[in-house]
Structure 1
Amino acid sequence: MTLFWVASVVLLVFSTLLVILPAINRKKNQDEALRDELNKAFYKDRLAELEEETDEGLVDNQNELIADLKQSLLDDIPGDAPEQKSQDINPWAVFVPSVVVLLVISFGVYYKFGAAQQVKEWQEVTANLPELSRKLMAPEGAQLTDDEMRDLTLALRTRLHYQPDDSTGWLLLGRIGLANRDVETSIGAMKKAFRLEPDNDDVKLGYAQALMLSQDDMDQETARVLLAELMQQEYVDLRVVSLMAFDAFERQDFPSAIKYWRIMQQMIGPDDHRYEMLERSIESAAIQMGDNVAPGRTVAVTISVAENVQIDPNAQIIVSVHPADGSAMPVAAARYPLGAFPRTVVLDDGNSMMEARKLTDLEQLMVRVRIDTDGNVGTRDGDWFGESQVVDFGEPVEVEISQQY
């Protein structure tokens, strides 16, 4: 607002100078003096011409012509007129009214047709950004009214205009866009946050979530790539798995959707109120798959590590499911990044080794888990491993890695 008043004063001073300078620099009227000088010059030129004509014998009555010329010069001189009084104007008599008129007109027009009230409200909203942000991030953040959400969006856009490198601000604006189902705003804001912090997991998740709402196939494919990267992290956010399940269900990849919902159930536990909702989602996907596929046909394996185990941080985990007789050939297997322990992984028919023999064909099973240090499945020297007891299909499996080859 200070800038507005400074600019107003500068413009008013400039406008006033345009009015008063002509009065200050006004020149007196010199028309009569100029006419006298012109007549004198004409008289002298005509005398010179008469002299030449007389010398050439063209004029006989030179004196008469000179007398006529003098009479003409006298006739052109105006008679005595009352002396005109000086019309000099006091500059202050022009300056003060000019300033008053400019002030009244300028600010009157701005008050009538300008946006003074809107500017004032905008500044109040901008100053209230910290409070609105705290209210949004608090547990009761969903209680923000529509007006407060609009104010928060306006304040954020103002801040980001002056601080375009604020990735947190872009992330927050993107989340507001998601809450309002404003796909264009959410994708644009999340994209800018991702460009500023491409390695930030929260930003990456928000960007993927926004891209999931896009109707563009390339945007959705980019979202899947981002989610796949997040699934490889040591700690996997529940929202990542939820988005993976949602995407799989939308693409009618029902086995994958069921797998991810089972992972979510393992992450939240049966005491969570969302557990039953996930179970209903699993049943719905199973119905979509047909009668030949039973819901819940996955193997959840909880892996822990004994205290004496020394782990290479670059190692990976190989989980294999075997028949109850312990045969070396696994029915299903999967490789995972090391991550943190204890952790739970879920295998299903998608991890089966052979099409003819699926994981869901087993009635009983056992699970082996190995920490692979060299990336070669065929070599085991120095690798740590563990195996479970024989369990019925559908029961939870626990494996502790405590032995070394």
Structure 2
Amino acid sequence: MTLFWISTVVLTLAAIALIAVPFLKRKANNDEALRDELNKAFYKDRLSELEVEAAEGLVENQQDLIADLKQSLLDDIPTQQKQQKTKTSIAGVLVPSVLLVVLISYGMYYKFGASDKVLHWQEVSSNLPALSKKLMSGSGEVLSDDELEDLTLALRTRLHYQPKDSTGWLLLGRIALANRDAGTAIDAMARAYKLEPKNEDVQLGYAQALMLSQDEAEQNEARLLLSRLIKNDYVDIRVFSLLAFDAFEQQDYAGAAKYWGIMQQMIGPEDSRYEMLARSIESAKKKMSPSESAVAGKSVAVTLTLSDQVNTSPDSVLIVSIHSADGSPMPIAAARYPLGSFPRTVVLDDGNSMMQGRNLSSLDTLMVRARLDSDGNVATRDADWYGESEVVELGAPVTVNIEKQYQ
């Protein structure tokens, strides 16, 4: 703020200089000064003529003529009163002009400069950390509409000076998503994605924004991002929520029921959203054919944890298999994943079935085994770490802790 007022003073002084300089230079170019110079030149010329005339004997009283010439020159010099009057007239114009410039400059700024908005903008910019913390705290505290507007203004200001701040673009995109502002959301998320294309939070945010687009190509790009997140085992219920919503919009009711079922398994029946998801699944089933409805939503979400004593190799792969409740070694369904990080959640369904004519959805009860394969050969188990679950009903959440090692 101090810099701003210093700038206004500099600009005002520059405007004053534009007015004052012509008045100050006028003294060197006024009529009196020009007349003095002319009189001096005339006096010198006349003295030279008198000397020539005296030498030729044409003038007898040369000194008297010189005296008269000097008196004439003195009579033509402006009086002190005239000079003072000129100075006074200059001051009389210059001083009011300077005051007028100052009054007009600051008066116009007070009237049209929106100083109150500038002050508010600066206060909001300084309050950005507090507003961001409140939005990201996850405490359930909701920002008011005014606070969201302030946060948007502060973010846009920061991003103007720091355009490579991916977190800022992500936050701006989330605010736009909350306001259903598709254009701003897509633009902000696209900038964040360009800066950090491997950041899973950014990928999810960008997919959310693209889902709001009316462009089929952008919607397809969103589906591609979401499918990558599932392959990378990105554990976030919003991924499945977006997939379920998109499937329902595309009239893929079996797919929608499947994703909502996965969400139920992830949150468990104690969560208040469980019943809402059950109603969504029931709504999707009503729109399906009998054959689709029979298997809709039947999948297994497995949460995997890793004990502290487990030593993993970067080349290890994760193998998750679903078996009948009797513990048969032949899996009904299985899937292979990159090592990734733990804890994590993977989902298996009929697409992972291993036995022809027997799908995962045909099981009433099951158990899950997970193994970290160190050499990439599923037939060998030496030194591999593994774990298995209790027997659970199909559709119930499953947890497997990898803690044992084959000897």
8 Å contact kept, 2:235–2:344: no
Counterpart of 2:337 in 1: which secondary structure? strand
Counterpart of 2:197 in 1: which secondary structure? coil
8 Å contact kept, 1:227–1:244: yes
CA distance 1:148–1:400, change in 2 (3 Å): closer
Q: Partners of 2:127 and 2:308 in 1: how far apart?
A: 52
CA distance 1:111–1:258, change in 2 (3 Å): same
The match for 2:337 is: 336
Shift of 1:316: 1.9
8 Å contact kept, 1:235–1:339: no
Instruction: State whether structure 2 residue 368 is matched by structure 1 residue 375.
Output: no
Shift of 1:247: 3.0
Counterpart of 1:25 in 2: which secondary structure? helix
Shift of 1:196: 2.9
The match for 1:23 is: 23
Counterpart AA for 2:270 = D
Counterpart of 1:89 in 2: which secondary structure? helix
8 Å contact kept, 1:282–1:296: yes
The match for 1:244 is: 243
CA distance 1:234–1:130, change in 2 (3 Å): same
Q: Which moved more, 1:197-206 or 1:147-156?
A: 197-206
The TM-score normalised by the length of structure 2 is 0.73
CA distance 1:182–1:304, change in 2 (3 Å): closer
The match for 1:105 is: 104
Q: Partners of 1:379 and 1:284 in 2: how far apart?
A: 46
The TM-score normalised by the length of structure 1 is 0.73
Counterpart of 1:289 in 2: which secondary structure? coil
Q: Partners of 1:364 and 1:141 in 2: how far apart?
A: 38
1:131-153 deviation digits (Å, cap 9, x = unpaired): 33333334566543222221221
Instruction: State whether structure 2 residue 128 is matched by structure 1 residue 126.
Output: no
Shift of 1:176: 0.9
CA distance 1:15–1:252, change in 2 (3 Å): same
Shift of 1:182: 0.9
Q: Which moved more, 1:148-157 or 1:374-383?
A: 374-383
8 Å contact kept, 2:384–2:406: yes
Instruction: State whether structure 2 residue 361 is matched by structure 1 residue 360.
Output: yes
The match for 1:8 is: 8
Counterpart AA for 1:372 = D
8 Å contact kept, 1:208–1:222: yes
Counterpart of 1:148 in 2: which secondary structure? helix
8 Å contact kept, 2:316–2:339: yes
The match for 1:163 is: 162
Question: Structure 1 stretches of 5 or more lacking a match?
Answer: 42-80
Counterpart of 1:198 in 2: which secondary structure? coil
Q: Partners of 2:307 and 2:137 in 1: how far apart?
A: 39
The match for 1:136 is: 135
Counterpart AA for 1:286 = K
CA distance 1:238–1:17, change in 2 (3 Å): same
The match for 2:259 is: 260
Q: Partners of 1:165 and 1:206 in 2: how far apart?
A: 17
Q: Partners of 1:232 and 1:374 in 2: how far apart?
A: 21
CA distance 1:97–1:301, change in 2 (3 Å): closer
CA distance 1:291–1:180, change in 2 (3 Å): same
1:100-137 deviation digits (Å, cap 9, x = unpaired): 11112222233333323322332233233333333333
Task: Report how many aligned residue pairs link the two structures.
Answer: 364
Of the two, which has the highest radius of gyration? 1
Q: Partners of 2:394 and 2:134 in 1: how far apart?
A: 47
Counterpart AA for 2:155 = L
Q: Partners of 2:394 and 2:116 in 1: how far apart?
A: 70
CA distance 1:248–1:318, change in 2 (3 Å): farther
Q: Which moved more, 1:81-90 or 1:204-213?
A: 81-90
Shift of 1:275: 1.4
CA distance 1:400–1:180, change in 2 (3 Å): closer
The match for 1:60 is: none
The match for 1:45 is: none
8 Å contact kept, 1:263–1:345: no
Shift of 1:213: 1.8
Counterpart AA for 1:4 = F
Q: Which moved more, 1:262-271 or 1:129-138?
A: 129-138
Counterpart AA for 1:114 = G
Q: Partners of 2:309 and 2:30 in 1: how far apart?
A: 109
CA distance 1:204–1:367, change in 2 (3 Å): closer
Q: Percent identity?
A: 59
8 Å contact kept, 2:383–2:405: no
Q: Partners of 1:82 and 1:340 in 2: how far apart?
A: 103
